[in-house]
Amino acid sequence: MGSGRLYLAVAVGGFRRYATYRAATAAGVFTNTAFGLILVYTYLALWEARPGLGGYEQAQAVTYVWLGQALFATLAIQGGGFEVELMERIRTGEIAVDLYRPVDLQLWWLANDVGRSVFQLLGRGVVPFVFGALVFPTALPGDVATWGAFLVALLLAVVVSFAIRYLFALSVFWLLDGQGVAQALTVTGLFCSGMTLPLNAFPGVLGEVVRVLPWAAQLQLPADVLMGEAAPLGAYAFQGAWAVALLAAGRLVQAAATRRVVVQGG
């Protein structure tokens, strides 16, 4: 099997794997919709008190909320994607088996995570987003070109998200436990991606800092591309630069970690 077909098969396998958890998917749809309602009414009150906060109109803020709920599981912003399994395989020593496979470790997990992301977008993200668009006034584009630009930004966001979590997961080679890593992923993901509040609304130096971190490529930039607040090419350049830098860093860390693998208990 050619390498392209192999990684495509891995991605399809990742999609099918998550598609089997139908009850969990339905619960996720309900949870994202419920949290979306809570956030929407919070944002409506906030934007009523502070019109134009972060350069957004109220309808744009509402759009941002529902896009965030649609992408929450898609981008594993709070963690809970492939990295959980990878950290456990490192902890137990099963990673040694993975390293013997005639495939690229990073590309294998990337393909797997892309399949998971596609399912989470379709299975868990579309319903809350459509619900929000039907019930609340939103600022969605009416032209196909903008939606196409958004999908490209979303694909790059998936790659950046993977690269961040891959680096975090590899740290378990030295830490030997993934609980602290998972908690760090949760905190940084929720705060730095703009899931809690749009990064445009962060004040002063804090806002300037979080907007240049890689987490900004996950939610903030795709949202701005969708709502016409960011030029697509500039967004792609930012996301692409972080994707390349983080994937390269992952390669270096992987090489350092696997140069001498010690399997616990053997």
Write out residues in the chain with pLDDT < 50, as ranges: 265-266
Listed residue (89, 243, 43) closest to 158, CA to CA: 243
pLDDT at 27: 94
Cα-based distances in Å from 128 to 75, 110, 171, 195, 214 = 15, 26, 34, 15, 26
The residues, any chain, with a CB within 8 Å of residue 162's CB and separated by 6 or more, are 81, 82, 109, 110, 113, 114
- Residue type for position 140: L
Token pair, residue 194, equals: 């703009």
- How many H helices and E strands in the chain? 13, 0
- Residue type for position 253: V
Rounded to a whole number of angstroms, the CA Rg of the chain reads: 19
Q: What is the pTM of this model?
A: 0.93
pLDDT at 263: 54
Helix (H) or strand (E) holding 230: none
pLDDT at 64: 96
pLDDT at 52: 92
